[in-house]
Structure 1
Amino acid sequence: MFGIFRTMLAINVVLLHIFNIPTIGNYSVSLFFILSGFLMSLIMHKTYGYNLNGFKVFWINRGLRLYPIYFVIIILTIITITYFPYIVRHPAIFLPKTFLEWSSNFTMLYPNIVPHRFEPRIVPPSWALTNELFFYVLISLGISKSFKRTLIWFIISVLYFVFTYKFYDLATFRYSAIPAASLPFSIGALLFWLSQKNKVKLKPNYYLVFGSLILFYLNSIYGKNLGDVSIYLNMLIGAFIVFELYKIKNSKFFKVDKYIGFYSYPIYLSHFVVCILFLEFSDVGNTVKSFKLNLESMPFYLLILFIINFLLVHIIDINLDRVKSNLKKKKL
C-alpha cells in the first residue's frame, strides 16, 4: 500500500520547488530512495529473480515505467520554453547545445557525481533519477541478494557519511550526490530483509502510520533546530513508515491506492513545466522575477497540475501498466 504515500511525497516536492516551503521536499526525496530500495529488493526476490531472463524483464519494465512519460514531459517542456522563452523559470531549464547535454537529458543519466549540478536539465527534478537508476543497476545485479550483502552495503554507506563530515563537509554530498543516495537505498533494502524475518508479526497499526506521518511533517518543519540530526531522524521515521505500510494488505483499498500512486511520478516530473504554463496564462500569485508562486495561487496551480497529470496517467501510465503486467506473465 504505497501508492498514496508516493503521491504524497511527490506533492511535498512540489511544495518545495514551486511554493518555497522548505525542507519537506528534500526529506521526501530521501524517503523516495528508502522506498525504492525496499521495493526493488522485494521485486527482485519475489518477481524477477537473479537470472538473465529476470534481469532482462526487470529492465524492460523499469524502462516502460520511467521513460515514456518522461519523454512526453521533456518534449512538452522543450515546446513550452521555445514558444514562451521569456517566462522566468528554473535556471537549469534551457535547451542543450552539445550531444552530451542532449543525451544526458533524454536518458536522465547526468555525468556528474552530484547530478543536480549538471546543466541544462530540461526537467530539473530528473537528477534524482540518475541516482535511482544507479542503484537499480546494483540491486538488479545482486547487492541486496542476501542479508549479509545488504548489511555490508549499509555499513559502507554509513562510513561514506562519516567520511563526508571528516573530510568534505558539504551538505550536497549527503543529499543529492550519487553515493549519498546509498544510505537511504540500503536502509530500504534492510527493511526488506526485516520484513522477511518477521512475517508472523506483520500486522499493521494504522495509528502508528498516521502518527509517523505527522512526526515526519513536524520534523520537516521544525527539525532545523536539531541540525543534521533531523536528517537521520527523517530517515528513521521514513523507514518506519515504509515498514508499517508494507503490512497493510487490505484489498478494499488496493485499487484506490494503486490508482492514486499512478500520479506520483508524472507529478514529480511535470510540476516545473506546469508552472511555466501557469505563469504564461495567469497572474495569480506570481512572485516578481521568480519561478516561485505565492500560496494564494496554490488551488489554481494544483488544479492545472491535476488536469495535466490526469491526462498523462490515463493516456500513458495505465495502459503501460497493463503492458508491464502482461510482460511479466509471459516472460517469468
Structure 2
Amino acid sequence: MFGSLRTLWAIMVVVGHIFWVSDFGRFAVFGFYILSGYLMTYVMQNSYGYAHSSKIKFAKNRFLRLFPAYWLACATTILLILLFDLSEDGKYAIMFIPDTIISIFGNFTLIFPHWMPNQIEPRLSPATWALTVELFFYTAIALGASKTINRTYIWVALSLAFILATYALDLFWHARYFSIPAGSLPFSLGALIFFLVKDNKTKFIPPVLVNYPLTLFGTMLAIAIFVSITITKGLPLWAMEILFYCSLIISFLLVLSLAMGKPFTSFIPKALDKKLGDFSYPFYLLHYQAAAIASYTIFGQVTVFKGSITINSVLLTFAVLFLLSLIIIKWVDNPIEKLRTKIKNAKRQDKPINQVQSGENT
C-alpha cells in the first residue's frame, strides 16, 4: 500500500536534484524517514523479533535489500567516469573514484563517517548520504529503540530535544536536515505510528485528518512546490523551516493513514502499487547517472539541466532512469527477493504482534 507513495517521493528527489532546486526533494526525504521508521518497527515486531538470531536475520535482509543494487549503481558511476569524465561539471564534481581509505570505506559500506554524511566526498551515488542516516536508525530499531511504546515516546522526546538544542546553539538549518541526529525525529514518529495503529489510539485522531491520504500527499506536495519557488525569491529561512515541519506533520498523517489501511488511490490495484514501489530505490540510486547519460546524448557532454530544461531532457532522463532501474529490478532485486523471503520467513523465537499487513518489500 506504500509503493506508489515511495516512488512519488523518489520522483520528487529526482526533480529536485536534476531539474529544479534541491529543496523540493528534501520534503520527500523526511517522508521516507517516517515510512522507514514505521516499516522497520513493523517488521521487527511482526516478522523478526528481538532475539539475537532475529536481529541477525534482520541485518541480512537489510544488507540484501540495499547493497547489491547500490554496488551496481556505483559500478555504473565508475563506468560513466571512465567514459565521460564527470568531474568536469560542478554538479557531478562529487562523483569521482574514491582514492583514500576513508572514501573507499564510505562508498563501499554506505557508512559515510561524519555526523553530517553529506559532507563526505566522493559519493558515487550522491544522494546516498541519506542511507547512512537510514542504516543508523535501522540499527537503533533492531536494538530495540522502538520495542515498546514507552521507549518510542522517550525516543520522540529526545529527538525533539535535539531539534530544540540546535536552535539554542544557533546551528544552521543544515544540522536539522543533513545530520544523523536530524533523522531521529521522523524515524521516531514513524515508529510511533506502529503503536498508534496497534493500540487503536488512532480513534482519538479526527477522521478528516487521516481519511484522505491522496489529499495529504497533495498538500505536502503543494508546500514543497511553494517553498521551492519562493526560496529563490527571498523566502526567509525561518519561514522555510516552519513550512518544512508542517510538511513533516502532514507526511506523518499520510503514513499513519496508509498504515491504518486507507487506500492511497482508488484506481491503483495493490499488485500494481507494489510494482510501482519497486522503482523507488533504483530511482534514488541512479538519477544522477541517468541525467549524465541523457545530457551527454543531447549536448555531447555531461552537464546540468537546471537552467536549460526541455521536454526532451526530461523525457530522456526519465527514460534512461526507467531502463537502468528495470535492469536492477529484474536482474538484481527480483532474484535476491527469493532469498530475502526465505530468511524473513524462517521460524522466529518470540511471538509476533498482529497488525495490518504492510504489503511492502521489507
**When the two structures are superposed, what TM-score results if normalisation uses the length of structure 2?**
0.85
Q: Describe how 1:121-200 pairs up with structure 2 within 5 A.
A: 121-198=123-200
- Check whether the contact 1:18–1:291 (CA below 8 A) recurs between aligned residues: yes
Change (3 A) 1:94 1:174: same
Which runs of 5 or more structure 1 residues have no equivalent in the other structure?
none
Q: Are positions 1:40 and 2:40 aligned together?
A: yes
Equivalence for 1:274: 290
Equivalent residues in 2 for 1:22-41, closer than 5 Å: 22-41=22-41
Alignment of 1:249-260 (within 5 A): 253-260=269-276
1:209 aligns with 2:223: no
Q: Once the two structures are aligned, what percentage of the paired residues are identical? A: 34
Could you say which residue in structure 2 is the equivalent of 1:218? 222
Partner of 2:122: 120
Uncovered stretches (5+) of structure 2, i.e. residues with no partner: 349-362
Whether the 8 Å contact between 1:108 and 1:130 is mirrored in structure 2 is yes
After superposition, the Cα gap between the structure-2 partners of 1:277 and 1:142, relative to the gap in structure 1 and judged at 3 Å, is same
Residue 326, structure 1, aligned to residue 342, structure 2: yes
CA shift at 1:31, angstroms?
0.4
| Pairing 1:230–2:247 present | no
Per the alignment, in what secondary structure is the counterpart of residue 346 of structure 2?
helix
Separation in 2, partners of 1:256, 1:74? 28
Corresponding residue number in structure 2 for 1:2: 2
Is structure 2 residue 318 aligned with structure 1 residue 302? Answer: yes
Structure 1 equivalent of residue 356 of structure 2: none
- 1:290 matched to 2:304? The reply is yes
Q: Are the aligned partners of 2:95 and 2:123 in contact in 1 as well (CA < 8 Å)?
A: yes
Change (3 A) 1:78 1:275: same
- Corresponding pairs, count: 330
Deviation at 1:277, TM superposition (A): 1.3
Partner Cα separation in structure 2 for residue 165 and residue 324 of structure 1: 42
CA contact (8 A) 2:295 2:304 kept: no
Change (3 A) 1:249 1:221: closer
**Offset at residue 169 of structure 1 (A):** 2.4
Aligned-residue Cα RMSD (Å) equals: 2.4
Code of the residue aligned with 2:190 in structure 1: it is G
Check whether the contact 1:108–1:126 (CA below 8 A) recurs between aligned residues.
yes
Alpha-carbon distance, 1:168 to partner:
3.2
TM-superposed CA distance for 1:323, in Å, is 1.6
- Greater displacement, 22-31 / 129-138: 22-31
Letter in 2 for 1:215: T
Q: Does 1:244 align with 2:246?
A: no
Question: What's the offset of the Cα at 1:180?
Answer: 0.5
Cα 1:204–1:248 change in 2 (3 A) is farther
Deviation, 1:247, is 2.5
CA–CA separation in structure 1 for the residues paired with 2:5 and 2:197: 18
2:91 maps to 1:78: no
